[in-house]
A and B are shown apart, each in its own frame.
Chain A
Amino acid sequence: MSALLLASASVLVLIGLAFVLLFRRLGSQVDLNRAPENWLEEAPAIKYRPMERLLADADYRFLASCAGVSPALLRRMRAERRRLFRSYLRCLSEDFSRVHTATRLFLLSCDRDRPDLALELLRQRAIFTCGLMLAELHLAVHVMGLGGIPVYRLIRSLNSARQNLTSAALPVAA
């Protein structure tokens, strides 16, 4: 009985805390009119090109074949590259959130119902979340040094499933 009471009390406290957090966030929401041009500012996807090579094995294979490159140096380099990859990932997430928020605000301002755009927004968010999870998986594989072909084949097939979702784009009404 007391365990049930404790569990119930904990759930209620958690719900209460969730309310406090949500209402605090509601109170400190972004000013919807502040610098919308900043939200529309292009998020240049090209700046994320280096991410494509940061976890690649080719560089390590080349370095390993060079004389004087110790395994310790290689380990340090791999760790440093993972750190950089995480920084890029954070930046990419921020850019995505900014553009996604701007699109949600656009949707709010529409004077007619736009289920197509709402679905597109949900789809884009789902694709991005899957991508982030894949990136985390990629990082975990890199940390463990499991750079073998089967692992990357798995990641590649997960990614292509995600790309199928991307290519199934809905037509966005003008």
Chain B
Amino acid sequence: MTPIAALTHWLWLLTIVVGAFALIRLYHAGLHRTYRFFFVYLGFQTLRSGVLMLFDPRTNAYAWTWVVTEAVIWVLYVLIVLELYSLVFRDYRGIYSLSQWALYAALAISLILSAVSLAATWNQQPEHYPILANIFLIERGVASSLVLFLLLIVAFLTWFPVPLSRNMVVHCVMFCVYFLSTSGSHLYRSLQGAQVQRAVSDVLLGVSLLCVTGWLTLLNRRGEEVPSGLRYQWKPADEQRLIGQLDALNRALSRSTNGRSSG
């Protein structure tokens, strides 16, 4: 076994072990009930890695197991991000409609941008296994759409500002890192060809290990507390007052530019 192959093997093994510990920790902290799809994803991913390790990567059995389970992983990615979105807005009924508009807008923008990115780098290198190129392309599309979707939703959260629990922030950061590196690595591979496949796989394995370690060490029960809830009791009259102030400020700005200067 070459040193690089040995490194890959150990990274792979370590990811499985850390993933198993993360699952146990999530279960003990009761977080598996909050992050259901994430828990399923982590379990499925860990199991998949373990099963794939039993096969020789040069066999058809390995290839088909990998292809079929990869499709399941894509569905789980989407479900995890939508779960994150619903958890963030769950307690804010006042902005239910607004958050729905934000969801549709973010979905549309992220899908369009991702499609543009895929179209720009379509079929850059000839592939020995075309199916593999297609799978990487789909994975890049899914990862880049989700990373853009997360970016837009985080921007919305920052603007509003919706208070987030520490776990939610950790979760978002981990997925951003993961999806960003996945789309970046696959893009690099599609531009450079199959000769960089090994390096790309190792980088992704390293990023996976980093993220799973983050989930293992940073997610806990205390992290579910929202740091600064909205304890201030607003009165119904405050609404009219605030809108009145916004109107008054807009009128002041309007008067300053109404062209009276011409006399």
Instruction: Please give the residue numbers on chain A whose beta carbons come within 8 Å of chain B beta carbons, in ascending order.
Output: 1, 4-5, 8-9, 11-12, 15-16, 18-19, 22-23, 25-27, 29-33, 36, 40, 42-43, 45, 48-49, 51-52, 54-58, 61, 85, 88-89, 92, 95-96, 99-115, 117-118, 120, 124, 127-128, 131-132, 134-135, 137-138, 147-149, 152-153, 155-156, 159, 162-163, 166, 169, 172, 174
| CB within 8 Å of A: which B143-178 residues | 147-148, 151, 154-155, 157-164, 169, 172-173, 176
Bound-state CA distance A16–B97 (Å) is 29
> Hey, which chain B residues are within 8 Å of A162, CB to CB?
254
- Complex contact A110–B261 (CB within 8 A): no
- 30 CB contacts below 8 A, A to B, read A5-B188, A11-B117, A12-B180, A19-B151, A19-B173, A22-B158, A25-B158, A32-B161, A36-B234, A40-B238, A40-B241, A40-B242, A52-B260, A57-B261, A101-B161, A103-B239, A108-B95, A109-B232, A110-B95, A111-B93, A115-B97, A115-B98, A124-B247, A128-B250, A131-B257, A147-B261, A148-B262, A159-B257, A163-B254, A166-B251
Bound-state CA distance A134–B239 (Å) is 28
Q: Smallest CB–CB gap between A11 and chain B, Å?
A: 8
The answer, yes or no, to whether B258 is at the interface (CB within 8 Å) is yes
Residue of B nearest to A137 (CB): B257
Contact code string B75-96 (vs A, CB < 8 Å = 1, else 0): 0000000000000000011111
Bound-state CA distance A113–B155 (Å) is 21
Sorted from nearest, which 5 A-B pairs have the closest CB atoms? A110-B94, A156-B259, A115-B97, A152-B262, A51-B256
> Hey, which chain B residues are within 8 Å of A174, CB to CB?
236, 239-240
Residue of B nearest to A9 (CB): B184
- Complex contact B239–A55 (CB within 8 A): no
The answer, yes or no, to whether B230 is at the interface (CB within 8 Å) is yes
Bound-state CA distance A108–B176 (Å) is 25
- Complex contact A152–B261 (CB within 8 A): yes
Bound-state CA distance A12–B217 (Å) is 27
- Complex contact B256–A56 (CB within 8 A): no
> Hey, which chain A residues are within 8 Å of B173, CB to CB?
19, 23
> Hey, which chain A residues are within 8 Å of B2, CB to CB?
none
> Hey, which chain B residues are within 8 Å of A112, CB to CB?
93-94
- Complex contact B160–A108 (CB within 8 A): yes
Bound-state CA distance A57–B250 (Å) is 23
- Complex contact B262–A159 (CB within 8 A): no
Q: Smallest CB–CB gap between B103 and chain A, Å?
A: 13
- Complex contact A51–B242 (CB within 8 A): no
Bound-state CA distance A103–B124 (Å) is 50
- Complex contact B97–A106 (CB within 8 A): no
Q: Smallest CB–CB gap between B214 and chain A, Å?
A: 14
The answer, yes or no, to whether B120 is at the interface (CB within 8 Å) is yes
The answer, yes or no, to whether B119 is at the interface (CB within 8 Å) is no
> Hey, which chain B residues are within 8 Å of A108, CB to CB?
92, 94-95, 160, 162, 230
> Hey, which chain A residues are within 8 Å of B148, CB to CB?
15
- Complex contact A42–B245 (CB within 8 A): yes
The answer, yes or no, to whether B252 is at the interface (CB within 8 Å) is yes
Bound-state CA distance A20–B256 (Å) is 37
Q: Smallest CB–CB gap between A166 and chain B, Å?
A: 6
Bound-state CA distance A102–B234 (Å) is 10
* B246 CB contact (under 8 Å) in A51, A96, A153: A96
Given the known interface contacts A19-B154, A111-B93, the answer about A147 and B262 at a Cβ–Cβ threshold of 8 Å is yes
Q: Smallest CB–CB gap between A50 and chain B, Å?
A: 9
Given the known interface contacts A36-B232, A102-B242, A109-B232, the answer about A96 and B124 at a Cβ–Cβ threshold of 8 Å is no
* A15 CB contact (under 8 Å) in B96, B151, B236: B151
Bound-state CA distance A102–B238 (Å) is 10
Q: Smallest CB–CB gap between B252 and chain A, Å?
A: 4
- Complex contact A103–B242 (CB within 8 A): yes
The answer, yes or no, to whether B231 is at the interface (CB within 8 Å) is yes
> Hey, which chain A residues are within 8 Å of B254, CB to CB?
131, 159, 162-163, 166
Residue of A nearest to B162 (CB): A108
* A124 CB contact (under 8 Å) in B101, B239, B240, B246: B246
